[in-house]
Chains A and B, each alone.
Chain A
Amino acid sequence: MDADNTPSSPATADISEAPPTSASERPREEPDFDTETMRKTRPGLKRFTLTLTVLLSFLLGLPFLLKSVEIYRSPLPFREIDDLSAAVESNSLHFPCQFQAVFVDFGVPSFTANELSMSIESHMQKLAAKDSTFCGACSNNSTVSVTLESGSDCFYSNNDLKWKCGALNELNKFEGSGKYDDELFDDYLKSRLGDNGNSSNGGKVYTVIVVRKEEMEEVRAVVGKYRHAWMVGRVSEEAAVKKVAEIFVKVFVNGGKEEGSISGEFMPVGADGRIVLSFNLLNADPRYWTYGWEFQEIDDNLLAPIIDALKPLADIRVESQVLYHTPKSSFSYWDDKLGSYIFTRNDLPFFDLKEIFEVFIGQLRQLFGLKSKGLLGDVSGSLRLLTSEAGFTEWELDLLSRQHTCFNLLQCATTLGSLSRLVQSLPRMIIKDEIGKQVKYSLEAAKLAISNVSGGVYDASAVSSRQARSFAEDAFYHPSMMSVSYYSFEHCFAVYSPFFLPVSLHVLLAALREWKRYKQESRKYNAWKAKTM
């Protein structure tokens, strides 16, 4: 250890630090040699190195100890989660939508198709800017393709969508009867458009057909059950353009919602993509009358089409039960004059099952944030909205699926965000591999959904967004996350402090003392050296 290599005798080992007894006699001989401030030998390093080694080995051992008490945490892609939240939250998802406007019988066109297209787009952007953009809206730069059809002439704007001119030749057939039956015309248009527009993007093209009829005073605007609307009547091109833009924005994009009505970022669908419709028939007192309902028929005839229609959005299950001896919900009072019990008129729907079901469908639509009025009023007259037997029209379903995708992605991002915050805030929490995997899958599905959204593939994006959300929820509600079995830092401290606190005190103080002493002694030696020189 030291330069001195005579370890056999402790007296000689100490020679470097403590002056030997013979040396202590010296001060008498040399009057200017002060033992308090000077020493003649170089101070030894042995004890200092020893204590330092102990300290160092403790410090070196510390990482090993920490490693040994470390708990398993599956690495979570925190940065990717943050990226996803940023991507979803910063620019709310915009779906590319395709619009098509067909102007029929406008005579000699005063505008070209491209000009019309441009002006519709600008109107649409103005309208969309007024409405605050909500989740699931179409992107602002959606293109509108315009077709001008006049007799045998056909002009197209510079877009991919080509309306097959002459498809409406049979229009006169409807004309002949004197008046339009909207529903029949709707189906007729569907069959025409079905031939026509299926070319790209799964045929999800929103079409407005404007037919100019000089003999009709009143302009009639109807939105059909499918993805098209039409206007018939004496209408100028400018007015038609405005109206078309309005139909596109207010109906096909916003779903006929009133301005300012806040539907919230909510979709009544569970994390697993399921809805349970539970119907309860309550009977306050079965002693006097036992009410029954033919729910099997209701299920088969009324609910089945709705469930079928909403299948892309959610997996709906229906259950029913009859409960007896429940608290009353509609109260009657006895009237002496009439000699009978009296109910208020509000209770009337409760006595007719079919009406109840209309109410119910209305409620269901409201739950999804859709209006149930047949008319949509606005500045330039009213729009008639046709209803579907299934309760939801195709364009409404499109809207719902867009919203669903968007909300799912938002939810997924929030869930993953809170998961990552939770995990980062609890450094001693065990994270199983399974959670890491679920987070990974969720992120992958979310990315796929986002890329599908930008590609305009609605169905696939809805499916993958649902997956993303359910994986995220699974990860967040994993049983191991809920458990309290992870042990805290305080716990760790309580276990190791009885050892490390006293020992480290000893080691540190010893090293400190030896260091001080060494410095002091070497100062003495230097003083002596300076003196002798």
Chain B
Amino acid sequence: MSRFKSSFLLFLLLFSAYESIASEDIVQVSEEFTEALLLRPLPDRKVLAHFHFQSTAPPTRTYGRHHHLFPKSIYQLVHKFKVREMELSFTQGRWNYERWGGYDPISNSNAKPPGVELWADFDVPQHQVEDSWKNLTHALSGLFCASINFLEQSTSYSAPQWSFQSVSGKLRYGTLPREAVCTENLTPWLKLLPCRDKAGLSSLMDRPSIYRSYYHSQRLHLRSDEFDTSKTSTGIVLEQTLTVVLQPNTFSGKTSQLSWSLSSLFGRKVGGKCSLSNSSNVYVQFEQSLVSKVKELREKRESSKNEILMHEGFQNNPLFELSLPPKRIIKEVEKLTKEGSILYEFSVEDYDESEPFDLGLSWKVPVFWSCQQAPLRTSRFLLGSGNERGAIAISMKSTESNNVERSGRDDKECWLRVGIFQVVPWYVKVYYHTLEVFLDGEPQHTVDNVEKIHVSPSEDKVSPGVMEIVLRLPCSVSTAALTLEFDKGFLHIDEYPPDANQGFDIPSAVVRFNDFLTNISFDDNSLKRVPILSKLEENIPVLSYTEVLLVPLTTPDFSMPYNVITITCTIFALYFGSLLNALRRRVGEEERLLREKAAKKMGPLTLMLSKLSAKLRRKQWEPPKPSSSRKSVINKKLILKVLLVAGIAVAWQYYFQ
């Protein structure tokens, strides 16, 4: 044993020596974790809080399978199902594109449809994609305590052709619009963070505050190039975001905007950074329209007071005041004539539990501004009534924002390309030939306005209907609408959910503005190292999700089969009984018996009855002849029958005990 020990020690020494030599040659990439929080005042007195956590794992080839920071479950998931890219979001509430913005990178990547949305791109041969997807849904279902496993059924997911960036055809997309999102989904999501919610920015996630919010969406996005053969692989990047829209709960009637602080928003303060995080920053973003308001105000003041301002410091800001001095101010690179937005950066590193970080913002003067909008505001609704047929309409209204003009290349030929991706469950049977396009209320030739279309009709109980379409609209259009007619199908009685009368959901359609990309670019290259900022710098396509539609389907009376069985059986029993009676009836004998009975003595009541019946029949009443033993015989038979039934009942009870 001692020999073994010493030899092992020697080996370890040798190995570590080798390691130190090796590390000099190759720059060892290690796991990284960063956390950030971005806060943004919204025009409707609400505040957007966007938590951003990023964990990276270097490729297995160089780094090995064991990690210090990267969550084990996600690593195993990536390797088991060979996931190239995946995004899973749990959302409650609907993103208000009109008020909270529809053009900036945050709203475009974090506004998600209600419920669960999952898409994944696999790095497996084509025939294994379905299996991988099914297994992945089950794994995620267990991991996040959600019914994601319902996406396993082929009726609930689809394979988009070109609506997503992937062109491999190995991407699968599915949504569960009715999934209720709550704390049991957040807790496993937090467990993927090295500090969970015990330290760092995630300690702000007070469950009641988050679930009281107007909108919250937790998202998990991972990208891996583990299975690429090229040498420049970066490993796995796991990005976790939580986007919350909160209403500050301080009430002051005078100002239009409410002052807030982290403790008033979340009820908690940050007691220092997560010690495993490389950077731990809080950003406060002011949108360009707000920034220009500040500029206006300042110019006004300058002209009146004739002061020269050295720097656009935060102290002498005429509009608002931040309770803490920012570490630095990051300005967006100005685009054309437009003012860029401004980010104030605060670092949590200098704070600890004795002196917690609590950023506050108070407004000095009332201010009104609006967010930058996507070129078209979309909404989707149902047409028609009744349980037989209907139509889906997607309407798009121009927001008259300046973006449209910017995209126009030529005055003559200015086109707006709008991609729509719509999945419809099979029981809503859409007739794709009824596709109609209206521009400014006028019906148009569909062919003129459709640039590209791909339709895969639904197959009953097998696959949903998928429509991918790219519309080409003139830039000057103010409203555009698209209608599709459908018939409502019938489900088998087993296929109805427990609350069938509530109706069935049609998942959100994705509307994508193909010519528009959004980002916030900064001129400082050192900022690229901060993941949240580099994320903001990425070009993201502008898209928006429509509402979820609720389609009422004909629901059967679920107790009907039993009613039918009972009624039919009773009728059959009656029929058989009377048939048998009729067959074994002896008319002559019965008459004779009746006569005999009548001849016998009767009680006063029967006497009266027979007299009455005779009178009714207008016959002469004959006095009945006395009968001796008839009554007792009937009684005996009755008792016998009752006994028989009771006996059967007792035997039954005894047999089935």
Contact = CB atoms under 8 A, between A and B. Distances in A.
B199 A287 contact: yes
Contacts of B195: 286, 324-325
Contact of B588 (A18, A295, A499): A18
A287 B72 CA distance: 22
B584 A510 contact: yes
B525 to A, nearest CB: 29
Given A287-B272, A287-B275, A322-B68, A47 B583 contact: yes
Interface residues of B, number: 45
Given A324-B195, A325-B196, A503 B572 contact: yes
Interface stretch (A9-17, A165-173, A339-347, A375-383): A9-17
A15 B260 CA distance: 108
A519 interface: no
A51 B569 contact: no
B576 A503 contact: yes
Interface in B1-19: 1, 3-5, 8-9, 11-12, 15
B72 A51 contact: no
Nearest to B63: A296
Name the residue in B1, B68, B72, B583 with the highest tally of chain A Cβ atoms < 10 Å from its Cβ. B68
B580 A54 contact: yes
B311 interface: no
A183 B66 CA distance: 35
A2 interface: no
Given A14-B589, A297-B15, A506 B1 contact: no
Given A11-B588, A325-B196, A374-B1, A510 B68 contact: no
A315 B588 CA distance: 90
Interface string B1-42: 101110011011001000000000000000000000000000
B276 interface: yes
Nearest to A296: B64
Nearest to A495: B565
B279 to A, nearest CB: 16
A514 B67 contact: no
A11 B276 CA distance: 108
Contacts of B76: 319
B276 A324 contact: yes
A354 B8 contact: yes
Nearest to A388: B4
Interface string B42-67: 00000000000000000000001111
B586 A296 contact: no
A320 interface: yes
A290 B68 CA distance: 10
Interface residues of A, number: 41
Nearest to A324: B194
Nearest to A502: B573
A387 interface: yes
Given A354-B8, A503-B576, A18 B592 contact: yes
A50 B583 contact: yes
Nearest to A44: B586
B577 A17 contact: no
A176 interface: no
Nearest to B641: A509
Contacts of B11: 301
B565 A498 contact: yes
A63 B573 CA distance: 20
B140 interface: no
B570 interface: yes
Interface in A1-38: 10-11, 14, 17-18, 24
A502 B570 contact: yes
A511 to B, nearest CB: 9
Contact of A321 (B64, B72, B275, B587): B72
Contact of A290 (B275, B583, B584): B275
Nearest to A497: B569
Contact of B587 (A10, A325, A503): A10
Contacts of A18: 586, 588-589, 592
B68 A325 contact: no
B198 interface: yes
B501 interface: no
A325 B198 CA distance: 7
Interface in A497-533: 498-499, 501-503, 506-507, 510, 513-514
Nearest to B73: A321
A199 to B, nearest CB: 33
Contacts of A50: 583-584
A300 to B, nearest CB: 9
Contacts of B577: 502-503, 506
A506 B580 contact: yes
Interface in B167-210: 194-196, 198-199
A305 to B, nearest CB: 11
B576 A506 contact: yes
B43 to A, nearest CB: 38
A153 interface: no
B566 interface: yes
Interface in B574-607: 574, 576-577, 580-581, 583-584, 586-589, 592
B68 A296 contact: no
A292 interface: yes
B69 interface: yes
B4 A389 contact: yes
A299 interface: yes
A357 to B, nearest CB: 10
A498 B572 CA distance: 9
B583 A51 contact: yes
Interface string A275-312: 00000000000110010100111010100000000000
B13 to A, nearest CB: 12
A47 B276 contact: no
A498 B568 CA distance: 9
A322 B69 CA distance: 7
B275 A286 contact: yes
Given A295-B66, A296-B65, A319-B76, A286 B580 contact: no
B68 A47 contact: no
Contacts of A290: 275-276
Contacts of A319: 65-66, 72, 76
A387 B588 contact: no
Contacts of B66: 295-296, 299, 319-320
A414 B584 CA distance: 60
Given A14-B589, A18-B586, A18-B592, A292 B580 contact: no
Interface of B: 1, 3-5, 8-9, 11-12, 15, 64-69, 71-72, 76, 194-196, 198-199, 272, 275-276, 565-566, 568-570, 572-574, 576-577, 580-581, 583-584, 586-589, 592
12 contacts: A14-B586, A14-B588, A286-B275, A290-B275, A295-B66, A296-B64, A299-B64, A301-B11, A301-B15, A322-B194, A498-B569, A502-B576
Given A321-B71, A502-B570, 20 more contacts: A18-B586, A50-B583, A51-B583, A287-B199, A296-B64, A297-B12, A299-B64, A301-B12, A319-B76, A320-B66, A322-B194, A324-B194, A324-B198, A354-B5, A354-B9, A354-B12, A501-B573, A503-B573, A506-B576, A507-B580
> Shortest 7 CB-CB distances between A and B: which pairs?
A502-B573, A499-B569, A498-B569, A325-B198, A296-B64, A295-B66, A321-B72
